[in-house]
Every structure is written in structure tokens, then in C-alpha cells.
Amino acid sequence: MNRPLSGHDGPYDAPVEIRGFSVLPDWVDYNGHMNVGFYSVAFDMALEKLMVDHLGLGEVQVKALGQGPYVLQSHMNFLREVRPDEPFYFRFRMLDSDQKRGHYFAQMLSEKDDAVCATQEALFMNVSHTTGRSEPYPDWAAARLVRMVGDHAKLLAAPQVGQPIGIRRNS
């Protein structure tokens, strides 16, 4: 398909904010805060809104083209507890893209005080549902990803971007 499915061609806010989330009762664990697994669910829900509302990808892409984004790698940092019923939102920054992939960084922030509660850095790839293999994005989608990368290029890098995971030892 040579025409966009939804979303827009930019310019894209730097960063793109996705709002309207709150900790659901089923997401709270025995520690009295949002369980670690539901952070991934919340980031994924926000990513889908970014994909559909801004880039024209995600579920609309799967339904129309039989292909969609698969997350290949994700690294999360948990910086502050998110409590029951607490409202939160996301900020997304597209770091890089090519014809098949995108690399983004997202922050989860509290609506109460704008404190960063968690971050996610992830790599996604466009995958055909017919073959199960990577497939280039349509030209319009690849162009939108490139535009978002460009619109976000002047944002200051967050300290969590590109950080390795491991036990830090004092020498």
C-alpha cells in the first residue's frame, strides 16, 4: 500500500507525549506498587498509540498490510515506584531508523510531579505475518520514521540510553 494508513507526516513533537494512563488494580503486586511485568505492558500500550496516532503503523498496519512491528530488544530502568491509581504518561524519542527497523527511548513520568519513574530503550523491526521474516516498511512509513528521528535529533540524550546491564564493582 502506497498511502499512509493513519497518523501524520510530521513535524513530530520533540519528544512525543502519550497521555491517559493510570495504574490498574490488577497491576499492583504484594509490595503495594505496580508490578515489574506491567511496566512492559504500559510501555507497549503507549508504543501502540505512538505507532497508530503518529506513524500510521501498529495494529492498523497489520490489518491493512499483514505486517507489523516486533520488539527485538528492550532495556528498562526502574527509577521510582508507581503506586495504585497513580496517573502517568510517556515521552518518546526516536533515536534511529532504517528501512526495516526503529530504535526508540521512552520515559514513563508521573502526572503528579513529572518525575521519571521508568525508562525503556528498545529496537523494533517490521515483520511480515505471512513469512515471519523482516520486511521493509512501505516508503511512506520509512519516511515518517526518518522524519521523527530528525525532529528528535536535538533532544539531549538521557543517561539511560545505551547503558549496559551488570553489577558495578568498585576497583
Q: Are 46 and 106 in contact (CB under 8 A)?
A: yes
> What letter would DSSP give residue 51?
I
**Residue spans of alpha helices (H) in 12-138:** 36-49, 59-65
Task: For residue 164, name the pLDDT band (cuts at 50, 70, 90).
Answer: confident
Whole-model pTM above 0.85?
Answer: yes
Enumerate the domain spans of the chain.
16-152
| DSSP summary character for residue 27 | G
pLDDT digits (tens, 9 = 90+) for 79-93: 999 999 899 999 999
Q: Which of 83-94 are b and which e, b meaning 16 or more Cβ less than 10 Å from the residue's Cβ?
A: eeebebbbbbbb
Q: What is the pLDDT of residues 18-30, one digit of tens each?
A: 999 999 999 999 9
Please name the fold of domain 16-152.
Thiol Ester Dehydrase; Chain A (3.10.129)
Encoded amino acid at 165, one letter: I
pLDDT, tens digit, 9 for 90 and up, residues 151-163: 999 999 899 999 8
